[in-house]
Amino acid sequence: MNCTKYSYFKPTLGHCWVIALVFIIGNVGISLILAMLGLAQLATKYTSLAYVLTAIIPLVYIFFMSKNASQSPFLTPAPLNRPNYGRLNKILFFVLLLFAPSAMGIIIDPLTALMPMPDAMKAIFENLYLGTPLWDTILATSIMAPLFEEFLCRGIILRGMLENNMAPWKAIVWSSLIFAVIHMNPWQGVAAFALALFFGWVYYRTRNLWACVFLHFVNNFTSIMIARIFPDMDVDEALCQSMPPMQFIMLFVVAAIVVAGIIYVLNKNLDKKAFGNEENTKETISA
């Protein structure tokens, strides 16, 4: 996606929270408008429609902020996407990423099990996973959500803080917290925060926004497929509660080894720093 103007928009931490606030206010506002117009049921039936409407307000805000930033003679561009694979083969890189979300989900599972989901929230997720057409669920959660949320949280927010010389670990933690907050519920937020730490680290080390989109896609698509294959499973059912203890412990250990191995290989072969000062140019940049 060519979006040159976004390369000039580098929000600070405070501005990143403003973006999150715009997202939340826009989400609530769109929901109220749909309810007033009697379209709430339609939006519930077609999640992709609701997602598009929800994304409009923050996208418009970022568009105008980016447009203003691109007109400043004092700002230099910082591409949203500038893949850097270090010594890794590109295909091997994505194969490694393929296994990370599921393995991390198993590691996070005991933590999410400590937070039972209220019936009202269960109903929302059951509708999302089972109550809408499969194509609509995939479109909303596995395509739209990864594209928009990675553009927002890694491409704009994390990149902005890194380009403003914030310590990488702080930028990754803050962007992960914002990612969790914009999900607007703690039951998604805990897992979202943990996953975003890994997504953010991958983005910091590779400057590869598409890698984050891929990770996000794999995570969401896997969740959808599990829900469709096992429709009788509760949406908040934890593996550690449904499996015999020893089996889960063995699975947990394997998942931990997989995640540790992936991080080790990536850390060893990726360049230590993918972020740096860009040349002062206004040439078209593929972001």
Nearest-angstrom CA–CA distance, 46 and 89: 39
The single-letter code of the amino acid at 30 is I
Question: Of residues 171 and 1, which shows the higher confidence score?
Answer: 171
**Given this model, what pLDDT does residue 284 score?**
34
Question: Sign (positive/negative) of CA torsion 213, 12, 204, 273?
Answer: positive
Token couple for 9: 């928009």
Tokens representing residue 185 in the block? 């519920």
Sorted by sequence, the CB contacts under 8 Å of residue 151 that are 6+ apart come out as 80, 209
Give the rounded percent of residues in the chain with a pLDDT score beyond 70.
94
> Has residue 259 been placed in a domain?
yes
Looking at the DSSP bridge assignments, the partners of residue 286 are 2
272-282, pLDDT tens digit by residue?
766 654 433 33
Is the separation of the CB atoms in 157 and 178 below 8 Å? yes
In this structure, of 24-28, 151-155, 216-220, the range with the lowest mean pLDDT score is: 24-28
Does residue 8 form part of some domain? no
Q: pLDDT by residue (tens digit) across 106-144?
A: 999 999 888 888 888 888 888 888 888 999 999 999 999
Distance (Å, whole) CA 265 – CA 96: 9
In sequence order, what are the residues at sequence separation of 6 or more whose Cβ sits closer than 8 angstroms to the Cβ of residue 260?
Answer: none
What pLDDT score was predicted for residue 89? 95
Q: pLDDT tens, 54-92?
A: 999 999 999 999 999 999 988 899 999 999 999 999 999
Position 107 in a domain: yes
284 domain-assigned: no
Q: What's the burial of 230, exposed, middle or buried (CB within 10 Å: 0-12/13-18/19+)?
A: exposed
Asked, for residue 10, whether it belongs to a domain, the answer is no
Q: Are 266 and 60 in contact (CB under 8 A)?
A: no
Gap between the Cα atoms of 121 and 129, Å rounded = 12
Question: Helices 186-206 and 168-181, interaxial angle, to 10°?
Answer: 150
The first and second tokens of residue 124, run together, are: 């929302």
Q: Could you give the number of structural domains in the chain?
A: 1
* Complete DSSP assignment for the chain: -B-GGGGG----HHHHHHHHHHHHHHHHHHHHHHHHTT-HHHHHH-HHHHHHHHHHHHHHHHHHHHHHHHT-TTPPP--S-----TTS-HHHHHHHHHHHHHHHHHHHHHHHHTSPPPHHHHHHHHIIIIIS-HHHHIIIIIIIHHHHHHIIIIIIIIHHHHHTT--HHHHHHHHHHHHHHTT-SHHHHHHHHHHHHHHHHHHHHH--HHHHHHHHHHHHHHHHHHHHH-TTS-TT--HHHHS-HHHHHHHHHHHHHHHHHHHHHHHHHS-S----PPPS--S--B-
Q: What is the pLDDT of residue 236?
A: 82
Give pLDDT tens digits for 157-171: 999 999 999 999 999
Within a domain: 40: no
Does the structure show a pLDDT above 70 at 228?
yes
The range of the structural domain enclosing residue 159 comes to 81-269
Does 43 or 224 have the greater pLDDT score? 224
In a domain, 208, yes or no: yes
- As a whole number of angstroms, the distance between CA 187 and CA 209 comes to 26
